[in-house]
Amino acid sequence: ASAHSPPSQPWLPNLTDLLKSCRLQNNYSPLKIVRASYQYMYDDTNLEYLDCVNSVAHVGHCHPAVVKAASVSMESAVTSCGWEIDYGDLQYPKELHQFLPTCLNTFLFCNSGSEAVDLALQLSRLYTNGTDAIVVDNAFHGSIDSVHQLSPKVFKCNNIIQPDWVHTVAMPDLYRGPYQEDDPLAVEKYIADARDMIDKARHYGRKIACFIAEPMLTVPGCIIPPNTWLQGMYRMVREFGGLCIADEVQTSLGRVGSHFWSFQAQGVTPDILIIGKSVGNGYPMASVVTSREVAALLGERIKEYQCTKMMNAVGCAVLEVLQQEHLMGSASVVGSVLKDELLKLQQKHEYIGQVRGKGLMFGIEIVWSKQSKKPSKEIADHIVFEMKKEYVIMANEGNSRNILLLMPPMCFTQENALLLVKRLDKVLSAIPSKRFSRSSNIAPSAPVGICEGRLGTFQPQEDDDDDGTSSMRDTVDLECAQHSYQDLD
């Protein structure tokens, strides 16, 4: 049957349609992962892969202490809210609060980061009587309607008009942004541009409710804002009467190595903090953490806010493991070894434009050449693909999908880091030194779900561009999207 013929049992979803509806990791050669343990994942033939991307398995895939907590909690009592049960709503906030500034003392639990962002937006509007939100370009904050509207990454790639209540400031990207490393006044200029934008909005009668940002911008490709940018933004937003929301769905619980929260590493304290993903080690739980004053509006002004949730026991287990296994300290040590080694690779390979990151969170800019800084999704795709053949799972992110993002589980070791760099060096060294074209060397069709042979291969090609750099027009085209579904029916 062809991929497009109707399924023989029409009540079952067609696998092709299923795959189209979600973005597959490594979609031109998907892996069937059947189990995972700590920083390793295993496919259906029992091959072991080193996981460098699943930050959600924060303390390690299927960590026994976390699995036990989930299982005990499911076996003992599953209730909706309103009961004081072991590990209920009381113990987890008490334990988490030890890691927080005292002013962030009220917890509103929900099931996903998206819900938490939506609630934070509602609270900021209630508290300020404002309507509008300031967001950072290319940010992503979740997948429900209100939150999609706060996510430039979503409205840009879907050609949706930016809502009038959302105002986008430039990413403080000193590598590619409008103001770069060589400009000593770059931070001031980013903030001045943001101020102009807010002034204009206010001139048209808009009122700012909040500024929402990841303190370190993982989604756009791990951009670490320069010192003082976030401080300057928070100061200015508060001057205009808005609240500052830190989205720490990806960056919390010691991920940055030096601090428990990435807002601490940036020298700010948010009015509202959003946590999710890693706090449950993959189990659905999230929270808005704020002051009593802000949270009180929920009871006063929004009656009947409800959310059924029950994974707080898991949250407690994650915190326990983090401390017992000293994972934040480990992220700092392993991260600094990894950074040194990646910087050496950057010196050696023309295709690495920049390495940035902190703790266990890195972005590697893949470019056609250091001089041109032209993003190369094609080479990034190729690297991710080849690394998978080396049993290392990586991902590429960012606006141009040219940034290799490393966010492994926190139990990632120094040996893992050295292995990753060794294999990355091997893959980069095997890329021909001149520019590329896609050859017609396409292998016959692959088995269901695996289309390895369909990848275009890299071939050196004479360089005829004046500037000595490659152009997108004649570079490799891996045609991932088209090929990935063809053999699936």
Q: For residue 195, with 0-12 CB atoms within 10 Å meaning exposed, 13-18 middle and 19 or more buried, which class applies? A: middle
| Span near ligand PMP by CB under 6 A; candidates 135-143, 253-261, 312-320, 433-441 | 135-143
Shortest distance in whole angstroms from residue 52 CB to ligand PMP: 17
Q: Does 249 bind ligand PMP (CB under 6 A)?
A: yes
Q: Does 114 bind ligand PMP (CB under 6 A)?
A: yes
Q: Which of residues 284-323 bind ligand PMP (CB under 6 A)?
A: 286
Q: Does 130 bind ligand PMP (CB under 6 A)?
A: no
H or E element in which residue 106 lies: strand 106-110
Q: Does 140 bind ligand PMP (CB under 6 A)?
A: yes
Sign of CA dihedral 188, 194, 197, 203: negative
| Span near ligand PMP by CB under 6 A; candidates 108-116, 302-310, 335-343, 467-475 | 108-116
Query: For residues 390 and 368, what is the distance between their CA atoms, to the nearest angstrom?
Result: 23
- Contacting residue, 54, 73, 250, 402, with ligand PMP by CB under 6 A: 250
Q: With contacts defined by CB under 6 A, how many residues of the chain interact with ligand PMP?
A: 16
Q: Which is nearer to ligand PMP, 214 or 386 (CB)?
A: 214
The distance between the two most distant Cα atoms of the chain, rounded to a whole number of Å, is 72
What would the two tokens of residue 235 be? 């100061």
Write the interaction track for ligand PMP spanning residues 175-214; mark x where CB under 6 A is met and - where it is not: ---------------------------------------x
DSSP structure class, residue 425: H
Q: Does 118 bind ligand PMP (CB under 6 A)?
A: no
Distance of alpha carbon 234 from the chain centroid: 22
Q: Answer whether 28's CB lies under 8 Å from 454's CB.
A: yes
- Contacting residue, 130, 270, 276, 408, with ligand PMP by CB under 6 A: 276
In degrees rounded to 5, what are phi and psi of residue 369? Answer: -155, 150
Shortest distance in whole angstroms from residue 111 CB to ligand PMP: 8
| Span near ligand PMP by CB under 6 A; candidates 80-88, 93-101, 124-132, 138-146 | 138-146
Query: For residues 27 and 483, what is the distance between their CA atoms, to the nearest angstrom?
Result: 9
326 sits in the region (left: phi over 0; alpha: psi -120 to 50; else beta) called left
**How many degrees, rounded to 5, is the angle at CA 418 between CA 414 and CA 424?**
145
Binding site for ligand PMP (CB under 6 A): 112-114, 117, 140-143, 214, 219, 247, 249-250, 276-277, 286
